[in-house]
């Protein structure tokens, strides 16, 4: 125990949020040290990470390439809809991020806590554990993402009372109720931020005959997206390719139009949350009358999502502080208290050996 504590002082223990959109790394005592898109550029048909003049094309460098790659290169998001769609590339990405955080620091062999989507299979867990080990981790612990999100959001999950977290990410929305430090109910909805982007792309195509890429759609969503009337409605300029002439052009859309286009994915998220609530044990449901719902994840930043969810559920809904970093901060908090948390987490010592 003493030795482990001592090593903890010198090694660079880290918490990792392996998200479908973004990967974040938090280091004990330093906070969030890396925040990059979960994207890797590879040579088509291979698992070979593209090397550019500035180094390996992973994260920010790779995201800038999405939709702009020549035929021989593809920019891949190795995690899709909350599951690992591509093992080897996930591994390459994780390894790149761990090495990047490690940099030239002399002492290696960190202990690593990784938040993984709830409901991934044992094989997928093994793949994540292996990747982290190959990247130099000495001990690896896996924690369910909704639990990490709840810890990061500061919910009192240790108590014998229900706390509810809704984490709206890129690929999935995880809806979880926790009590006594564990998950009492959890649903993973396959509708989240990416579907909002897609809805905007479809709207632009149908209404303006304008084809736009996913990044443009995401920018529009972030700039003017909403779920309820805004105090001041706005407009934004959108650029893409005209479907009839085939030529590049611009169009102007209003925030009202974008709101209309987002109705479907937003409606599905709300339905999913209500459905989870309907299936809860009565005591847990009763606790939520007082405790309400906490929103986390980047998708929670969509203007007015908290208000429409509150209206639909009749519960108090609040946005976590800094929703995009909740999961990573939660993993870092587990690191602080590894002795207390470790028994509740999957690690490379037990069933995955
Ligand atoms: P993941 O956990 O799947 O990696 P994140 O929690 O990092 O996902 O959230 C990413 C999602 O949040 C993306 O779909 C992104 O477009 C969306 N997002 C980020 N900021 C905003 C914002 N201000 N408004 C609406 N959506 C946002
Ligand atoms: Mg997430």
> Which ligand 1 atom minimizes the distance to the CA of 297?
6
Which of 24, 34, 37, 298 most suits a substitution to test ligand 1, by most atoms within 8 Å of the C-beta?
Answer: 298
Distance, CA 1 to ligand 2 centroid (Å)?
Answer: 32
Per-residue tokens: 256: 């009202």
Instruction: Decide: helix, strand or coil at residue 239.
Output: strand
> Which ligand 1 atom minimizes the distance to the CA of 22?
4
Which of the ligands is closest to the CA of residue 35?
A: 1
Which of the ligands is closest to the CA of residue 200?
A: 1
Which of the ligands is closest to the CA of residue 38?
A: 1
How confident is the model over 300-340, as pLDDT tens digits? 999 999 999 999 999 999 999 999 999 999 999 999 888 77
The overall average pLDDT reported for the chain is: 90
User: What is the pTM for the complete model shown?
Assistant: 0.91
What is the percent of the chain where pLDDT is above 70?
93
> Which ligand 1 atom minimizes the distance to the CA of 82?
3
User: Ligand 2 being an ion, which residues bring their Cβ within 5 A of it?
Assistant: 19, 169
Nearest to 129 by CA among 144, 113, 118, 145: 113
Nearest to 107 by CA among 26, 28, 8, 3: 8
The band of 65, judged by pLDDT with boundaries at 50, 70 and 90, is confident
Distance, CA 19 to ligand 2 centroid (Å)?
Answer: 5
Distance, CA 66 to ligand 2 centroid (Å)?
Answer: 20
User: Would you say 278 and 238 are in contact if contact means Cβ atoms under 8 Å apart?
Assistant: no
How confident is the model over 163-197, as pLDDT tens digits? 999 999 999 999 999 999 999 999 999 999 999 99
DSSP secondary structure of 43-96: ETTS-PBPEETTEE-BTHHHHTTTT---TTEEEE-SEETTEES-HHHHHHHHHH
Tokens 């007015």, located at residue = 304
Which of the ligands is closest to the CA of residue 172?
A: 1
8 versus 110: the higher-pLDDT residue is 110
Nearest to 78 by CA among 124, 121, 115: 124
Angle at 261 between CA 214 and CA 68, to 5 degrees: 10
Q: How far apart are CA 17 and CA 20, in angstroms?
A: 10
> Which ligand 1 atom minimizes the distance to the CA of 23?
4
The band of 294, judged by pLDDT with boundaries at 50, 70 and 90, is very high
pLDDT score of 121: 84
User: Would you say 130 and 146 are in contact if contact means Cβ atoms under 8 Å apart?
Assistant: no
Instruction: Decide: helix, strand or coil at residue 321.
Output: coil
CB 186: neighbour CB atoms within 10 A?
A: 18
Q: Does residue 347 have a pLDDT over 60?
A: yes
Q: Does residue 86 have a pLDDT over 90?
A: no
Region of 69 (left: φ > 0; alpha: ψ -120 to 50; beta: rest) is beta
Q: How far apart are CA 311 and CA 11, in angstroms?
A: 48
Phi, psi of 306 (to 5 degrees): -60, -40
149: buried, middle or exposed (CB in 10 Å: 19+, 13-18, 0-12)? buried
With residue 229 as reference, give the H or E element that holds it: none
With residue 86 as reference, give the H or E element that holds it: none
Distance, CA 240 to ligand 1 centroid (Å)?
Answer: 22
Q: How far apart are CA 86 and CA 127, in angstroms?
A: 10
Q: Does residue 353 have a pLDDT over 90?
A: no
Which protein residue has the closest C-alpha to ligand 1 atom 7?
Answer: 22
Residues with CB under 6 A from ligand 1: 19-22, 169-171, 193-194, 218, 221-222, 225, 297-299, 301-302, 324
Distance, CA 116 to ligand 1 centroid (Å)?
Answer: 17
The DSSP bridge pattern shows strands 73-76 and 79-80 to be unpaired
pLDDT score of 352: 46
Widest pairwise Cα distance in the chain? 71
């Amino acid at each position: 125990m003493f030795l482990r504590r001592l090593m903890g002082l010198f090694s660079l223990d880290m918490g990792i949020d392996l998200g479908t959109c973004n990967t974040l790394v938090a280091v004990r005592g330093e906070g969030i040290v890396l925040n990059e898109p979960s994207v890797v550029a590879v040579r088509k048909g291979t698992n070979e990470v593209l090397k550019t003049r500035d180094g390996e094309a992973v994260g920010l460098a790779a995201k800038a390439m999405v939709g702009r790659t020549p035929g021989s290169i593809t920019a891949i998001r190795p995690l899709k809809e909350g599951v690992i769609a591509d093992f080897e590339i996930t591994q390459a990405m994780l390894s790149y991020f761990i090495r990047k955080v490690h940099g030239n620091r002399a002492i290696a062999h960190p202990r690593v806590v990784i938040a993984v989507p709830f409901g991934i299979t044992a094989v997928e867990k093994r793949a994540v554990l292996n990747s982290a080990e190959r990247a130099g981790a000495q001990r690896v612990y896996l924690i369910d993402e909704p639990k990490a999100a709840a810890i990061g959001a500061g919910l009192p999950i240790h108590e014998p009372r229900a706390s509810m977290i809704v984490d709206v990410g890129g690929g999935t929305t995880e809806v979880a109720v926790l009590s006594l430090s564990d998950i009492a109910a959890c649903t993973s909805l396959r509708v989240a931020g990416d579907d909002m982007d897609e809805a905007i792309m479809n709207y632009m195509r149908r209404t303006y005959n304008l084809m736009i890429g996913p990044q443009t759609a995401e920018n529009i969503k972030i700039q003017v997206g909403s779920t309820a009337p805004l105090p001041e409605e706005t407009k934004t300029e959108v650029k893409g390719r005209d479907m009839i002439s085939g030529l590049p052009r611009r169009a102007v859309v209003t925030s009202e139009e974008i709101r209309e286009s987002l109705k479907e994915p937003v409606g599905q998220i709300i339905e999913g949350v209500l459905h989870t609530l309907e299936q809860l044990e009565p005591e847990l449901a009763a606790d939520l009358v007082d405790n309400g719902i906490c929103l986390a994840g980047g998708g929670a930043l969509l203007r007015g999502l908290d208000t429409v969810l509150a209206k639909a559920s009749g519960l108090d809904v609040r946005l976590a502080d800094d929703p995009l970093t909740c999961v990573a901060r939660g993993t870092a908090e587990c690191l602080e208290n590894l002795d207390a948390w470790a028994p509740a987490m999957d690690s490379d010592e037990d069933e995955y050996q």
